Structure 1
Amino acid sequence: MKDNFYIIQNGTLKRKENTVYFTNENIRKIIPIEKIHSVYCLGEISINSKLLTYLSRKNIILHFFNYYGYYTGSFYPRDYLVSGDIIVKQVKHYLDPEERIFIAKEIVSSTIYNILRILEHYRKHNKDIKSEILKIRECDQKINSAKSIEELMQIEGESWRYYYQTFSKILNFFEFQSRVRRPPDNEINCLISFLNSLLYTAVLTELYHTQLNPSVSYLHEPFVRRFSLALDISEMFKPLIVGRCLFNLINKRIIKEENFRKDLNSCLLNDSGKRIVLKEFDGRLSLTVDHPSLKRRVSYKRLFRLEGYKLVKHCIGDTKYKGFRMWW
């Protein structure tokens, strides 16, 4: 299985013949490009067109993050699995109100199901979160009667709000009151934002290896300058990937106060903190489960791509779409 390659330091990423190097004042590291799935640039990285041409030929995506750890964009190579027929049918399902809301309901229903699965695990371990679980179940019961995408988004937003309310009861360290995004105001919000960005880019990478257009989505409204289908699919995996990474990092004291830095009203990861989070995130993506249909073990990362395949089958009228729900 190919790996993600993370660059935290500042430097230059360049190609010399068929070899890719990362260099700066202190190191000169060869990147084994045949073993690389995607590249994450979290430092200030200089690149050139020769490198991009080579990576495009190898179907490797580059993801860029700024100084504050925010995702800023991706180098997305030319589609190598492009299918005009699939894209037309994908767009038709967006334009058809009934088809769109069917897929959107599956996404929201599956997201809430996975939230409840994670929270039930902690409830069984004596965390007093029963009231929040009941409120999330009430949200779940509203999905079938929802008549619009806006209503579904409200239901999902309400579910996430109750989910975040459990954090003060699940987490053993750091204080958390509410979700604050840009900028994150404490350690927990900082970790959530960074992990959400990592998940989004991981899903985007897997969508590149399908015939779907990542800018045509069903729950999130398609906008310019974002791959909104990656947002749709990420929602269903946040409890499993982001939530479990976060709880492990904090409750097992893998990450600590010294791994953060505070600037005015914001809290950000320093380089040591980024390394810790990336190791935890990458480790979780590499975990495997027995897949009931494929009859073999697949990684969590591969599940993102399989979700894309399920949407393709739905769009071509092969199999009705069923959103990702944890079965193990």
Structure 2
Amino acid sequence: MPKPVYVFSSGRLSRMSNTIVLETEERKRHLPVEQVSELYLFGEVDLNKRFLEFCAQKGVLLHFFNRYGYYAGSFYPREHLLSGYLTLKQAEHYLDPERRLALARRFVEGGLENIRRLLRKEEAKGKGVESTLALLENLSAQVGEVRTVGELMALEGRAREAYYGVWDELLGERWVLARSRRPPRDPINALLSFTNSLLYTAILAQIYQTHLDPRIGFLHEANYRRHSLNLDVAEVFKPALADRLIFRVIRRDQLKSGHFLREGNGVFLSEAGRRLVVEEWEKTLQTTYRHLVLKRSVSYRTTIRLELYKLERHLIGEQSYTPYRLR
């Protein structure tokens, strides 16, 4: 089964027969291409057109991150499974205001429900989140009343602001969060930015294995941004995968002050910090549970793929899409 490979060292990527070769100052590593699904490139890596052609031929995605761990972009080989019929259905749903809004609502409903389930678990542990849960219940009830995607995104923004507002209660005063974008101003924002990027790229990789077009989202505008569908699906999985990972590494005291760097006005994960989070991220995606419908064990990486299959069935009119619910 092909797996993602994370490259933190600087060096050179090249092709040798049917093998990906990663050459660094320390060593030369040979990776059979059949065992690689994606390359996550955090170091300064040189590569050439011949190598990209090889990756395109084999369906290997490349995700690039800058020196601060920011997601820079992906090399997304020509879609080998794209279906003209399904692409037309995606476009129809996007161009029809009612159908687009209906799908956008599902993504927001799924995200808010998973946030509420996460907070209910915290409430059971004695955390003071009652008022926030009440507010989120109220906002969730309003999702069906909004009339535009813009109104829906504004409502979702209010809900997340309330949710992030109790993170100091959940994680302690040392990890106070005042939500900021770029650059992140504190360690929690640095963690959020990095884990969300890992989630976006993990979903993008799974979209590549379906008939869906990643450029056509429903909650997020299909505009000059290269991809938007992965951002839609990420709304459902942020609380379940990314946020729970952050809670876990902090509560286990895995992250130390040395895992963060301050440059200018920003705070960023160090290389050691990124390595630690990536290791925990892969453990998360490989974790299995018993699927209630399939009656067998599936991983969370497979769960993302199954979510996309549900979306495909919705678009072709087979079955209405219902978002993943946190167990």
> CA RMSD for the aligned pairs?
1.2
Mapping of residues 219-258 of structure 1, within 5 Å: 219-258=219-258
Residue 259 of structure 1 corresponds to: 259
**Other structure's SS at 1:220 match:** coil
Deviation by residue 1:58-93 (Cα, 9 ceiling, x = unmatched)? 211110001111111111011111211110011001
1:121 is aligned to 121
Instruction: Look up the match of 1:306.
Output: 306
Give the aligned partner of residue 208 of structure 2.
208
Could you list the runs of 5+ residues in structure 1 that have no partner in the other structure?
none
CA distance in 2, matches of 1:157, 1:292: 31
**Structure 2, unpaired ranges of 5+:** none
Q: Which residue of 2 aligns with 1:324?
A: 324
Distance in 2 (CA, whole Å) between partners of 1:103 and 1:172 is: 36
Question: Structure 1: which amino acid aligns with 2:267?
Answer: C
User: Could you tell me which residue of structure 2 aligns to residue 85 of structure 1?
Assistant: 85
- Partner amino acid for 2:310? K
Shift of 1:173: 6.1
Question: 1:156-179: per-residue Cα shift (whole Å, max 9, x none)?
Answer: 111111110111011136332421
Aligned-pair identity (%): 38
| Distance in 2 of aligned mates of 1:31 and 1:273 | 25
Match of 2:2 in 1: 2
CA distance in 2 between counterparts of 1:251 and 1:283 reads 17
Aligned to 1:288: 288
Residue range with higher mean Cα deviation, 217-226 or 202-211: 217-226
CA shift, 1:33, in A, is: 2.4
Larger CA deviation: 75-84 vs 198-207: 75-84
Aligned equivalent of 2:147: 147
Residues in 2 aligned to 1:197 and 1:245: alpha-carbon distance in whole angstroms = 13
Spell out, residue by residue over 1:204-239, the C-alpha distance to the aligned partner (whole angstroms, 9 max, x if none): 000011111101011011122331000000010000
Question: Normalising to structure 2: TM-score of the pair?
Answer: 0.97
Per-residue deviation at 1:137? 1.0
Distance in 1, matches of 2:78 and 2:176, equals 42
Matched-pair contact (CA < 8 Å) for 1:172–1:251: no
Contact 1:210-1:309 at 8 Å conserved across structures:
yes
- 8 Å CA contact 1:13–1:45 kept in 2: the answer is yes
Q: Runs (4+) of structure 1 moved beyond 4 Å?
A: none
Partner SS for 1:142: helix
Q: Contact (CA 8 Å) 1:183, 1:266: kept in 2 or not?
A: yes
